[in-house]
A and B are shown apart, each in its own frame.
Chain A
Amino acid sequence: MPTLKTLNVGDQATVSHIDGADAIAMRLMEMGLFEGESIRFVGKAPLGDPLEFEICGCKISLRSSETERVHITS
């Protein structure tokens, strides 16, 4: 299953689910990364990490290690 990590800059996708039940998973969900939400990969920081996404009209930043946990459907 593709994850956010497999996206290219500018791509749009739909969140399907997030691995894990820890505080990070909860924080991701609270920030709007939840099943059915559309997410867009806006860009990368100058050193390649972290990554900027747009979800629910908000821009958020995630590390590429965290993006592996977010499963998507294109």
Chain B
Amino acid sequence: MSNSASAESAENPGVESNLPASQLTFALIGNPNTGKSTLFNALAGMKARVGNYPGVTVEKKVGNFQYQNHKIELIDLPGTYSLSPRTADEMVSVRVLLGSQEQTEIPDAAICIVDATHLQRHLYLLCQLLGLGLPTILVLNMWDEVQKQKLEIDVKKLEQRLGIPVVAACARSGLGVPELKEKMIALIANHQSTDKSKRNHLELFPENFQLARAEISKIIQEKTGQQIPEYLAERLLLDINGETEREVLKGNEAVAEILRLKREELKQNGCPIPAIEPRVRYGWAREMLGGIIQQPELPVEQRGDYLDRWLTHRIWGPAVFAVIMLLMFQAIYTWAGPLMDGIEIIQDAISRLITGAMSPGALRSLLTDGIVGGVGSVVVFLPQILILFLFIAILEDCGYMSRAAFLMDRIMTKVGLSGKAFVPMISSFACAVPGIMAARTIEDRKERFVTILVAPLMSCSARLPVYLLMINAFIPQQSIFGGFVSLQAFVLFCFYLLGVLVAIPVAWILKKTWFKGEVAPFVMELPNFKWPSFRVVFYRVWDRGRSFLKQAGTLIFLTTIIVWAAGYFPGDRTELNQVMAQLESENLSKEDTAREVLQERSRELSSQLLNDSFLGTAGHFIEPVVEPLGWDWRIGMGAIASFPAREVIIGTLGTIYSLGGDVNEEDTGLMAKMHSARKADGTPVYNVPVALSVMVFFALCAQCGATLMVMRQETNSWKWPLFSFTYMTTLAYLGAWTTYQIGIAILPTV
């Protein structure tokens, strides 16, 4: 069948030559799990402009590519099952396609991507799209699956029946992509002569419905002065309590009443609202597909069925889930080790190079302590973060993530959430910012708000550096559970669990107080299992890694410089610089007593200077508050400095211990510096209870400016970010206090 699909393209030669060489805009639309993003990348490459549509947080993703002499702009619309907008976000896609979305021109045509193995259901969206009247191309994706399942789809016949170009494709392998590009140009050429306002659109509704729709348009114009497109009038009739009602009626009760009467009248005349829509659209889909698909006599054994039986099994399901999670954290340790060592070696080499080339002073301190030291100690965690995201991307792409939601739904309903909230929660393990934005898929407002407020408790990637630093430095390298699991990996696993365990009562309390109400519905697709695609996984990991580095490179970099400055100024460093210059001069041998005297003096001076700095002043000021947590003023200072982002604590500690003269000069790496840090009375600053207390604090606190900003955007109020910051900081303080107090009571002091 693939042959007939590709041979077909040869029948439209040279059409594109009539087209003026202007920019053409295509909108790409499709159900979730159809490979839409993969097709987007296959067409437009990996460089996409990403932004937001004004007023909502729907991601606006636009890509550009050149085909022959045409500049093509591709707008990626969010994956959706239908064009029946229930929320402001779903309305964006409809507006883009109608050309009424701000800052977006009406597309010249639409590309509708469907899963060829589930044609009937996916034609529902196509049917609505054709109702809009845009020139449209249908892409039958997952053609490899069609062949594997020995389905036969008559592409040419389908093309004739639908009256639009149809392309058989496999976005993962690139099959059909050249043909699609060719047909995109040919489609525009064919529609060039037609006036945009006079385009035909697919009409399936009975006559009385059409009349009612026209009447509603007229009434809206008379009563509210708005001229709405026919499609929106249709949605007004069909979507009871839908987004169209909210946006068009704006609470106009008189019009709402007319609408109610119209719906009732239609119902009496054999046109039940909303059932009429699926009836006509599925009827159409069946008609279009009749005799098009030949299935083999005996269904090929569905690998997915077999896998599903195991992965959602009463015992094996949760067991496999737990094993996958544990494996993930184990891998973060074993695979990333050598890479981390490499980065640390490079960092040391650069610092040494700068120290060797410059004389002591503010600029050298800024370069080695501020820039190389601070950013370097964040970048060193990149390998681990990439490995974590590699796991997440693979699990998403192979279809396991929705099974995890399926497994977790019952538990989530216990706290008044659904398995759907589990996906934003899982995303929040990477970063709460996309996690909170992913909560937009939850239709129910109450559930959405609770999810948003609880999502930042999940252990995001910004906490990972904090955990890793403390675990690597203070948790012994030994095996537990009969040598099978490393203690370090187990502690990391426990901290990921901590956020979840705390989130449960918090969500439960929120659902019992501010957000009382029924549990939201749970209708979710469980996509077929497939081998994860290298391209898809690579793109996701690349994307996340790049954004982490960008963050490390901008926000963290800036904060590091500020923290360095706060620790460096004010203070007279003339004497310290002289001492350091003397120390570095070559005529001092290692055993020299003069050298020891100088080292002692430099430590004293550095310590005094940091103590007197702006940062030191702030740290001392809050010391009485953090003392019950087992912290000294330096950790308190680090917590203050990390308000913009948690991972900044690493840079802060790095800077603090490089600046402070109280660490051994021969030490390399922050961990060693932390181990050798001493309090004024000579006892170590850090021991296991202190490390755990710091970790608990950072697990539960709201030290992330970006999260709080997104929260404000999503809840459209400062109230909720403020609330989150307060409750999380309180929990973090109480948690850290409890941990330290229990820790010193049961653990032997190191």
A residues adjacent to B (C-beta < 8 A):
17-18, 21-32, 34-35, 37, 42-50, 52, 55-63, 66
Residues facing A in B596-631 (CB within 8 A) are none
Q: Check if A29 sits within 8 Å of B308, measured CB to CB.
A: no
Q: Check if A35 sits within 8 Å of B279, measured CB to CB.
A: yes
Q: Check if B308 sits within 8 Å of A59, measured CB to CB.
A: yes
Which residues from chain A contact B117 at a C-beta distance below 8 Å? 57
Task: Give A17 to B276 CA distance when docked, in angstroms.
Answer: 12
Q: Check if A59 sits within 8 Å of B523, measured CB to CB.
A: no
In the complex, what residue of chain B is closest to A29 when comparing beta carbons? B278
Task: Give A40 to B318 CA distance when docked, in angstroms.
Answer: 24
Task: Give A42 to B527 CA distance when docked, in angstroms.
Answer: 14
In the complex, what residue of chain B is closest to A58 when comparing beta carbons? B118
Which residues from chain B contact A31 at a C-beta distance below 8 Å? 81, 121, 523, 525
Which residues from chain B contact A34 at a C-beta distance below 8 Å? 278-279, 282
10 nearest A-B residue pairs (beta carbon):
A47-B410, A29-B278, A59-B526, A56-B121, A32-B121, A24-B521, A46-B314, A30-B81, A30-B82, A63-B522
**Is B86's CB within 8 Å of the partner chain A?**
yes
**Is B524's CB within 8 Å of the partner chain A?**
yes
B86 partner, pick from A23, A42, A47, A59, beta carbons under 8 A: A23
CB pairs A–B below 8 angstroms (11 shown): A26-B278, A29-B274, A29-B278, A43-B309, A46-B407, A52-B406, A57-B118, A58-B121, A61-B419, A61-B523, A66-B522
A52 partner, pick from B124, B312, B413, beta carbons under 8 A: B312
Using A27-B523, A50-B409 as known contacts, say yes or no to A59 and B121 having CB atoms under 8 A apart: no
Task: Give A4 to B507 CA distance when docked, in angstroms.
Answer: 31
Q: Check if B312 sits within 8 Å of A45, measured CB to CB.
A: yes
Encoded as 1 (CB less than 8 Å from any A CB) or 0, chain B from 411 to 452 comes to 101000001000000000000000000000001000000000
**Is B476's CB within 8 Å of the partner chain A?**
no
Shortest C-beta distance, B535 to chain A (Å), equals: 24
Task: Give A37 to B239 CA distance when docked, in angstroms.
Answer: 23
Which residues from chain A contact B7 at a C-beta distance below 8 Å? none
Shortest C-beta distance, A22 to chain B (Å), equals: 7
Task: Give A51 to B239 CA distance when docked, in angstroms.
Answer: 27
Shortest C-beta distance, B682 to chain A (Å), equals: 55
Q: Check if B241 sits within 8 Å of A22, measured CB to CB.
A: yes
Which residues from chain B contact A37 at a C-beta distance below 8 Å? 282
In the complex, what residue of chain B is closest to A59 when comparing beta carbons? B526
Q: Check if B524 sits within 8 Å of A60, measured CB to CB.
A: yes
Given A23-B443, A43-B309, 7 more A-B residue pairs with CB atoms under 8 Å apart are A45-B317, A46-B315, A47-B411, A59-B525, A61-B406, A61-B526, A66-B521
Task: Give A61 to B314 CA distance when docked, in angstroms.
Answer: 16
Task: Give A32 to B525 CA distance when docked, in angstroms.
Answer: 11
Which residues from chain B contact A48 at a C-beta distance below 8 Å? 410
Shortest C-beta distance, B84 to chain A (Å), equals: 6
Q: Check if A21 sits within 8 Å of B274, measured CB to CB.
A: yes
The number of chain B residues with a CB under 8 A from chain A is: 48
Shortest C-beta distance, B309 to chain A (Å), equals: 7
**Is B120's CB within 8 Å of the partner chain A?**
yes
Which residues from chain A contact B410 at a C-beta distance below 8 Å? 45-50
In the complex, what residue of chain B is closest to A28 when comparing beta carbons? B523
Which residues from chain B contact A29 at a C-beta distance below 8 Å? 274-275, 277-278
In the complex, what residue of chain A is closest to B82 when comparing beta carbons? A30
Q: Check if A58 sits within 8 Å of B275, measured CB to CB.
A: no
Task: Give A55 to B278 CA distance when docked, in angstroms.
Answer: 15
Using A30-B82, A30-B124 as known contacts, say yes or no to A60 and B526 having CB atoms under 8 A apart: yes
Q: Check if A24 sits within 8 Å of B318, measured CB to CB.
A: no
Which residues from chain B contact A60 at a C-beta distance below 8 Å? 523-526
Task: Give A59 to B577 CA distance when docked, in angstroms.
Answer: 70
**Is B105's CB within 8 Å of the partner chain A?**
no
Which residues from chain B contact A56 at a C-beta distance below 8 Å? 118, 120-121
**Is B663's CB within 8 Å of the partner chain A?**
no
Task: Give A26 to B239 CA distance when docked, in angstroms.
Answer: 9
Which residues from chain B contact A28 at a C-beta distance below 8 Å? 523
Q: Check if A46 sits within 8 Å of B240, measured CB to CB.
A: no
Q: Check if B409 sits within 8 Å of A61, measured CB to CB.
A: yes
Which residues from chain A contact B304 at a C-beta distance below 8 Å? 59
Q: Check if A46 sits within 8 Å of B241, measured CB to CB.
A: no
**Is B273's CB within 8 Å of the partner chain A?**
yes
Task: Give A72 to B157 CA distance when docked, in angstroms.
Answer: 33
Q: Check if A21 sits within 8 Å of B240, measured CB to CB.
A: yes
Q: Check if A46 sits within 8 Å of B313, measured CB to CB.
A: yes
B526 partner, pick from A18, A46, A52, beta carbons under 8 A: A52
Tell which of B117, B241, B274 has the most Cβ of chain A within 10 Å. Answer: B274
B317 partner, pick from A35, A46, A66, beta carbons under 8 A: A46
Shortest C-beta distance, B288 to chain A (Å), equals: 14
Task: Give A35 to B517 CA distance when docked, in angstroms.
Answer: 31
Task: Give A39 to B747 CA distance when docked, in angstroms.
Answer: 58
Task: Give A55 to B282 CA distance when docked, in angstroms.
Answer: 13
Task: Give A21 to B277 CA distance when docked, in angstroms.
Answer: 12
**Is B472's CB within 8 Å of the partner chain A?**
no
Task: Give A63 to B419 CA distance when docked, in angstroms.
Answer: 10
B407 partner, pick from A45, A57, A66, beta carbons under 8 A: A45
Q: Check if B318 sits within 8 Å of A30, measured CB to CB.
A: no
**Is B528's CB within 8 Å of the partner chain A?**
yes
Which residues from chain B contact A50 at a C-beta distance below 8 Å? 406, 409-410, 419, 522
In the complex, what residue of chain A is closest to B408 when comparing beta carbons? A45
Q: Check if A26 sits within 8 Å of B274, measured CB to CB.
A: yes
Shortest C-beta distance, A20 to chain B (Å), equals: 10
Task: Give A18 to B282 CA distance when docked, in angstroms.
Answer: 15
Shortest C-beta distance, B145 to chain A (Å), equals: 11
Residues facing A in B304-338 (CB within 8 A) are 304-305, 308-309, 312-315, 317-318
Encoded as 1 (CB less than 8 Å from any A CB) or 0, chain B from 106 to 144 comes to 000000000001101100100000000000000000000
In the complex, what residue of chain B is closest to A27 when comparing beta carbons? B523
Q: Check if A21 sits within 8 Å of B118, measured CB to CB.
A: no
Shortest C-beta distance, B377 to chain A (Å), equals: 42
Encoded as 1 (CB less than 8 Å from any A CB) or 0, chain B from 513 to 524 comes to 000000001111
Which residues from chain A contact B419 at a C-beta distance below 8 Å? 50, 61
Shortest C-beta distance, A39 to chain B (Å), equals: 12
Which residues from chain A contact B318 at a C-beta distance below 8 Å? 46
Q: Check if B406 sits within 8 Å of A45, measured CB to CB.
A: yes
B120 partner, pick from A32, A44, A63, beta carbons under 8 A: A32
